[in-house]
Amino acid sequence: MKFHIDTRRTVGKRDPMIYGQFIEHFHRQIYGGIYDPGNPLSGKEGFREDVIRAMQRIKVPVLRWPGGCFVSAHHWKDAVGKNRVPTFDKAWRVEEPNTFGTDEYIAFCRRVGCEPYICTNAGTGTAEEMSDWVEYCNLKTEGPYAKQRIANGHSDPFKVKYWSIGNENYGGWEIGAKTATEWGRLVTESAKMIQRVDPSIELSAAALADLDWNINLLKNCGERLAWISIHDYWDGIHQTNDYANYEQCMAYTNYLEDKVAKVRGLLCAMGLEKQIRIAFDEWNLRGWYHPNSHSLKLGINPDDYIKPRDLNDENCRYTMADAVFTACFLNMANRNCDIVGMTNYAPVVNTRGLIYTQKDGIVLRSTYHVFDLYVNGLGDTVLDSFVSDMPVLKIRDKAGNLVETPALDLLATLNPDGNIVIAAVNKDPGEAQTLQVVMEKLPQRVSIQTLSGKSIDAFNDMGRNDAVPGAAAETRYNTETGISLPPHSVSIVRFFGDSLPADSYVE
């Protein structure tokens, strides 16, 4: 195979927000996750300092909150002010203490150094409740809610720039689900009120890769939106927890781009592709395990529907399959950076997240290290490229069908120093693949950093680091042999700018 790169043709500059994150009031993501007052590992605000440091390392650019299904019956006013009254969370059928609300969330975002991105309640909520939330966050002093924020100790507006109207309101499982017609009207009226409070914010609305839903939404409210939100979980094990194995996960990589392509097509057809970008604001290879919670027959005994949620915490489940899939998704987001402006990994902490917390420490799962390699290694300009003679894997998908998938997933970027930086994913479960780069004036000095794990099932846990990247190794690119990519691996390959003298490489 040959990977052809043309440094004269760029796809675009990727928005850093394609490396965004999501966190929801579900299971241990907030309480016992990022917010753990009383734990010696938490600071004075009750935030886990080790989690903050880990999120800073991967430069989290934006954090979507508070849901997810949770938000569709959540009233933000219950979670601000001096006395927080616990409520019953009807989405997840647990008591919500409301001790982590808007003020705590904003403080957490400030500590991490990321943009807040608030998803509002378009399930049981109203246009007024949503726009009151914007008043609370973004007005200086006008009206009761800005004054409440000031009384709660925050004199300056929070300046929350990113807001989404609703979460998956198309889904029968969602509280306050809507028809396409209802959705177009509700979003229009909500957007109108929200923008009267603060016309400077960027608004999204819950959507999916469905023509009727999106045409109605965009016809009614397209001119008011800067984003359109879509979600995907490929291994849909919400009810069964029957994990797809490595090969089956590789089969899922054939469907990474489907939803983006459909929504892109519609935006182009409606002439909105220059005004509206896609926020893929929930995604994960694995669906979260919450059996008997979205089904018609709901769990009655907490052992049937609450206790099983603990099984999301098994670190051994997050292997090189998750890491390789995650890298392929991020490659897709980069390659579509002209229309995909934000993605949010679901979630960042606990459940199926990048970071797992327990009382005395954290685990950085295999997927965390993919974000570390990409955020800290790749360039910000995506170059046009193509592959000739791509090797093909023949594998079985989860339905048992024999399918083919390209063995490699490659992305070419240019960094501000003028270096070409390639993300090279080898999906092959057993064989190394050779990367041959074809490019005018290919520099000779190259460094390679690889995450491959000891096997396809390698994972990390407390005191176990079987799925962590090796150190970056500098070498001289050999046009004959190319670069060997180990099986089940993600590599960052950096060619140092040709401004350096030809023999400037380390033996």
Q: Is 308 in the site for ligand AHR (CB under 6 A)?
A: no
Query: With respect to ligand AHR, which residue has the nearer C-beta, 260 or 448?
Result: 448
Measured in whole angstroms, the distance separating CA 470 from the mean position of its chain's CA atoms is 24
Token pair recorded at residue 332: 């897709």
Q: Is 232 in the site for ligand AHR (CB under 6 A)?
A: no
Which of 15, 24, 198, 397 touches ligand AHR (CB under 6 A)? 24
Instruction: Give the single-character DSSP code of 445.
Output: E
Half-sphere exposure in the Cβ direction for 386 (13 Å, CA): 3
Q: For helices 211-221 and 258-269, what crossing angle results, to 10°?
A: 40
From the CB of residue 66, how many other CB atoms can be counted at a distance below 10 Å? 25
Which of 10, 152, 254, 484 touches ligand AHR (CB under 6 A)? 484
Q: Phi and psi for 48 in degrees, rounded to 5?
A: -70, 115
State the nearest-atom distance from the C-beta of 434 to ligand AHR, in Å: 8
State the nearest-atom distance from the C-beta of 259 to ligand AHR, in Å: 14
In the chain, what is the straight-line distance between the N-terminal and C-terminal CA atoms, in Å? Answer: 26
Which of 36, 103, 115, 168 touches ligand AHR (CB under 6 A)? 168
- HEC string of 134-181? HHHHHCCCCHHHHHHHHHCCCCCCCCCCEEEECCCCCCCCCCCCCCHH
Q: Is 96 in the site for ligand AHR (CB under 6 A)?
A: no
Q: Is 478 in the site for ligand AHR (CB under 6 A)?
A: yes
Q: Is 66 in the site for ligand AHR (CB under 6 A)?
A: no
Which of 23, 30, 51, 69 touches ligand AHR (CB under 6 A)? 69
State the nearest-atom distance from the C-beta of 4 to ligand AHR, in Å: 18
Extract the runs of DSSP E, i.e. beta strands, from 365-416: 381-388, 392-396, 402-406, 408-414
State the nearest-atom distance from the C-beta of 110 to ligand AHR, in Å: 25
Q: For helices 49-57 and 102-112, what crossing angle results, to 10°?
A: 50
Piece of the chain touching ligand AHR by CB under 6 A; list 62-70, 216-224, 261-269, 380-388: 62-70
Query: With respect to ligand AHR, which residue has the nearer C-beta, 11 or 354?
Result: 354
Q: Is 475 in the site for ligand AHR (CB under 6 A)?
A: yes
Give the amino acid at 429.
P
Backbone conformation region of residue 395, classed left if phi is above 0, alpha if psi is from -120 to 50, else beta: beta
How many residues of this chain interact with ligand AHR, rule: CB under 6 A? 18
Q: Is 443 in the site for ligand AHR (CB under 6 A)?
A: no
Query: With respect to ligand AHR, which residue has the nearer C-beta, 148 or 475?
Result: 475
Please give the residue ranges that form the binding site for ligand AHR (CB under 6 A).
Answer: 24, 67-69, 167-168, 231, 238, 282, 287-288, 448, 475, 477-478, 481, 483-484
